């Protein structure tokens, strides 16, 4: 490993020096006295559709985290319920979606994804009720009240990354993208969704949102991130018809879906998790296995993806992201959960890690730079659209230093909520420990081995195999160690 991972810095001063070396403007609250109140424990008031307010009890959000472990009919398994129980126990007062819920079977990212099952024999409401009930009961048992807990369901169609029948991809794409076609071996026979297909998907999103509202979820997330369908549509510059080309067309499906949900369930809050900027797809370089934007110079100007500079698609252009977030605000979206890129074609950026997933590559620079990129992106957005509440992503790599960086960003009003992904699998009570002022349980801090990503890429259920006893004991843990070694080799 060429980069010192956060856990190896011996002193806070050593970490601060490195943090500032990478970004001279990088700040963190290593010395903040929190004995009279921790910014991360402060409640946040949010507007509700009826003109009222709701309180979120602290500044931690659990990001959506799939486990690839439901039954093929969409029934949660013991693993799924355990994960939702642990999300409830975490002490985080915002649960952003639990995990991606596919609105139709062909839009699942794996055969074992939770989904709206059209089979009349399926009890979709009972499935959602058991997940929500498990989470809220656990929260009440551990944290007393659920009055300041806000829970949503993330609605998705996996689009290009649909895999409803096993590890084989069954892409349903929004537009042809020559570089992703090369990366994933897609030919001209690939299924391009028609405008009619898109309208049907939107109807299923509305159906799923109504079900979520009826079961008791506080909000739904109309998911526009990570390369999945609604995210791909935002960047479908070359798609003809009603849903491609102009900004107005590319945002039509999102707009219509949000408007229809609002009209069907006026009291349901609506959020949006969005990859607010992106990067040209990365490839594993022969020889040193480091990720690089292969042949980018031969594809300029780049006519795909959302929020990238067409003349240098490894860099951001925030013109359209600003317009999109203003649209969200004007549609009454209560909060945007900002993420970046995709775990498929730029995992080093989407989830900064010391070890790559098995289909990834070695990080091109210190992963702390990618954490800083997430922070800077949120700051940029905050300055551009100051009246939209924001959740930030990509914090888990910070490990021991997460509270200090998060305190600084929240205290200086750069972000409202600190969203945690992988840390919630290895150490779900991290938010409760921080808010209560307890020492961190360093043995359970996520060390970003990426087994949670490698497992599903190889047909196994996801979880924290290195640190969570429940998964450590499974035979797959051994196989994953081998895969990790292979992926980290040049
Ligand atoms: C195993 C796994 C499953 C995930 N599932 C989802 C998901 O269902 N929906 C989503 O928006 N993001 C998903 N993510 C991304 C995380 O929510 C989060 O953005 C990412 O892990 C980076 O945050 P972190 O640094 O705190 O881990 C998943 C990540 C992992 C590792």
Contact in structure between 237 and 245 (CB atoms under 8 Å): yes
> Which residue's CA is the nearest one to ligand 1's atom 18?
421
Closest atom of ligand 1 to CA, residue 225 = 11
Please give the average per-residue pLDDT across 54-66, as a whole number: 98
- Atom 29 in ligand 1: which residue has the minimum CA distance? 65
Nearest protein Cα to ligand 1, atom 12: 64
Q: What is the pLDDT of residues 399-424, one digit of tens each?
A: 999 999 999 999 999 999 999 999 99
Q: Of 370 and 166, which is predicted with more confidence?
A: 370
Q: Is the CB of 396 under 6 A from ligand 1?
A: yes
Decide whether any atom of ligand 1 lies within 6 Å of the 231 Cβ: no
Q: Does the residue 163 lie in any domain?
A: yes
For the segment 24-41, the average pLDDT, to the nearest whole number, is: 94
Instruction: Kindly state whether residue 201 falls inside one of the protein's structural domains.
Output: yes
Atom of ligand 1 nearest to the CA of 448: 27
Mean pLDDT of 157-186: 95
CA 483 to each of CA 112, 161, 453, 454, 458: distance values in angstroms, whole numbers, following the listed order: 22, 22, 11, 8, 9
Biggest distance spanned by C-alpha atoms of the chain: 62
With vertex at residue 377, the alpha carbon angle to CA 68 and CA 270, rounded to the nearest 5 degrees, is 55
Determine contact, residues 420/430, Cβ cutoff 8 Å: yes
pLDDT at 4: 96
> Does this model's pTM top 0.85?
yes
Q: How many CB atoms lie within 10 A of CB 198?
A: 24
The residue behind tokens 């570089």 is 179
If one residue of 60, 63, 402 were mutated to test the ligand 1 pocket, choosing by the most ligand atoms within 8 A of its CB, it would be 63
What is the pLDDT confidence band of residue 430, given thresholds at 50, 70 and 90?
very high
Q: Is 64 in the pocket of ligand 1 (CB under 6 A)?
A: yes
In a domain, 306, yes or no: yes
Q: What is the pLDDT of residues 320-377, one digit of tens each?
A: 999 999 999 999 999 999 999 999 999 999 999 999 999 999 999 999 999 999 999 9
**Atom of ligand 1 minimally distant from the CA of 463:** 1
pLDDT at 490 exceeding the cut of 90: no
Query: What's the gap in Å between 155 CA and the centre of ligand 1?
Result: 14
In a domain, 229, yes or no: yes
- Does 391 contact ligand 1 (Cβ within 6 A)? no
Looking up residue 129, the CATH number of its domain turns out to be 3.20.20.70
Q: Is the CB of 484 under 6 A from ligand 1?
A: no
Domain of 376, in residue numbers: 27-442
* Residue 399 beta carbon below 6 angstroms from any ligand 1 atom: no
Domain assignment present for 456: no
Residue 166: the pLDDT is 83
**Cβ contact 94:62 at 8 Å:** yes
Confidence of residue 221 (pLDDT cuts 50, 70, 90): very high
What is residue 376's predicted lDDT score, i.e. its pLDDT? 98
Residue 32 has pLDDT above 90, yes or no: yes
CA of 240 to the centre of ligand 1 (A): 31
* Residue 10 domain-assigned (yes or no): no
pLDDT score recorded for residue 172 = 98
- The share of the chain scoring above pLDDT 70, in percent, equals 100
Q: What pLDDT score was predicted for residue 167?
A: 81
Q: Band the pLDDT of 168: cuts 50, 70, 90.
A: confident
pLDDT score for 141 = 98
- Give domain status of residue 162, yes or no: yes
Tokens 């659990």, residue? 62
Structure tokens at 342: 């995709």
Domain count, the chain: 1
Are the C-beta atoms of 266 and 259 separated by less than 8 Å? no
Distance 446 CA to ligand 1 centre (A): 13
* Ligand 1 atom closest to the CA of 422, numbered from 1: 27
Please report the pLDDT score of residue 2 as a whole number. 80
Ligand 1 pocket mutation pick from 65, 68, 229, 462 by most atoms within 8 angstroms of CB: 65
> For residue 63, how far is its CA from the centre of ligand 1 (angstroms)?
6
> Which atom of ligand 1 is closest in space to residue 339's alpha carbon?
19
Q: What tens digit of pLDDT does each residue of 369-378 get?
A: 999 999 999 9
Q: What is the DSSP string of 358-395?
A: TTS-B-SS-HHHHHHHHHHHHHHHHHHSTTS-EEE---
Index of the ligand 1 atom closest to the CA of residue 273? 11
Mean pLDDT score, 280-286: 98
* C-alpha 342 to ligand 1 mean position (Å): 10
Mean pLDDT of the chain: 97
Query: What is the CA(222)–ligand 1 centre distance, in A?
Result: 16
Query: pLDDT digits over 65-83, tens only?
Result: 999 999 999 999 999 999 9
Q: Is the pLDDT of residue 1 over 70?
A: no
Ligand 1 pocket: which of 358, 359, 422 to mutate (most atoms within 8 A of CB): 422
Q: How far is the CA of 88 from the centre of ligand 1 (A)?
A: 17
Q: Whose CA is nearest to atom 11 of ligand 1?
A: 64
Residue 222 to residue 205: CA distance in whole angstroms: 8
Ligand 1 atom closest to residue 420's alpha carbon, by position in its atom list: 26
What are the residue ranges of helices labelled H in 318-450? 319-330, 347-350, 367-384, 402-411, 423-426, 430-435
Task: Report how far ligand 1's centroid is from the alpha carbon of 422 (Å).
Answer: 7
In a domain, 294, yes or no: yes
- The C-alpha atoms of residue 326 and residue 318 are separated, in whole angstroms, by 12
Structure tokens at 184: 């994933």
């Amino acid at each position: 490993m060429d980069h010192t991972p956060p856990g190896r810095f011996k002193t806070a001063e050593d970490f601060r020096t490195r943090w500032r070396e990478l970004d001279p403007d990088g700040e963190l609250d290593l010395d903040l006295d929190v004995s009279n109140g921790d910014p991360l424990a402060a409640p946040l008031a949010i507007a509700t559709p009826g003109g009222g307010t709701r309180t979120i009890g602290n500044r931690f959000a659990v990001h959506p985290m799939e486990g690839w472990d439901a039954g093929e009919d969409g029934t949660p398994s013991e693993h799924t319920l355990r994960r939702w129980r642990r999300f409830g126990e975490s002490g985080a007062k915002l649960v952003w979606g639990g995990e991606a819920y596919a609105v139709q079977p062909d839009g699942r990212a794996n055969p074992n994804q939770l989904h709206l099952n059209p089979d009349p024999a399926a009890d979709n409401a009972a499935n959602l009720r058991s997940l929500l009930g498990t989470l809220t009961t656990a929260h009440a048992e551990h944290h007393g009240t659920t009055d300041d807990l806000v829970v949503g369901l993330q609605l998705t169609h996996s689009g290009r990354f649909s895999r409803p029948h096993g590890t084989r991809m069954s892409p349903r794409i929004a537009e042809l993208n020559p570089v992703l076609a090369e990366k994933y071996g897609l030919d001209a026979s690939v299924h391009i969704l028609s405008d009619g297909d898109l309208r049907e998907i939107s109807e299923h999103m509305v159906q799923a949102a109504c079900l979520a509202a009826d079961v008791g979820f506080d909000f739904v997330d109309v998911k526009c991130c990570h390369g999945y369908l609604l995210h791909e549509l935002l960047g479908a510059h070359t798609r003809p018809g009603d849903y491609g080309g102009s900004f107005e067309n590319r945002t039509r499906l999102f707009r219509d879906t949000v408007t229809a949900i609002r009209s069907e369930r006026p009291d349901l809050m609506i959020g949006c998790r969005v990859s607010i900027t992106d990067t040209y797809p990365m490839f594993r370089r022969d020889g040193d296995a480091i990720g690089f934007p292969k042949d980018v110079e031969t594809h300029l100007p780049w006519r795909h993806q959302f929020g990238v500079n067409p003349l240098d698609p490894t860099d951001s252009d925030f013109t359209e992201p600003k317009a999109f977030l203003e649209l969200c605000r004007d549609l009454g979206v209560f909060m945007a959960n900002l993420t970046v890129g995709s775990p498929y074609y730029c995992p080093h950026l989407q989830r900064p890690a010391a070890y790559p997933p098995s289909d990834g590559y070695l990080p091109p620079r210190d992963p702390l730079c990618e954490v800083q990129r997430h922070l800077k992106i949120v700051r940029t957005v905050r300055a551009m659209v100051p009246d939209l509440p924001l959740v930030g992503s990509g914090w888990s790599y910070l490990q021991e230093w997460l509270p200090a960086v998060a305190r600084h960003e929240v205290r200086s009003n750069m972000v409202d909520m600190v969203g945690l992904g992988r840390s919630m699998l290895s150490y779900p009570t991290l938010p409760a420990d921080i808010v209560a002022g307890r020492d961190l349980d360093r043995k359970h801090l996520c060390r970003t081995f990426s087994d949670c990503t490698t497992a599903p890429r190889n047909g196994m259920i996801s979880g924290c195999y290195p640190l969570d006893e429940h998964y450590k004991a499974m035979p797959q843990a051994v196989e994953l160690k081998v895969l990790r070694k292979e992926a980290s080799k040049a």
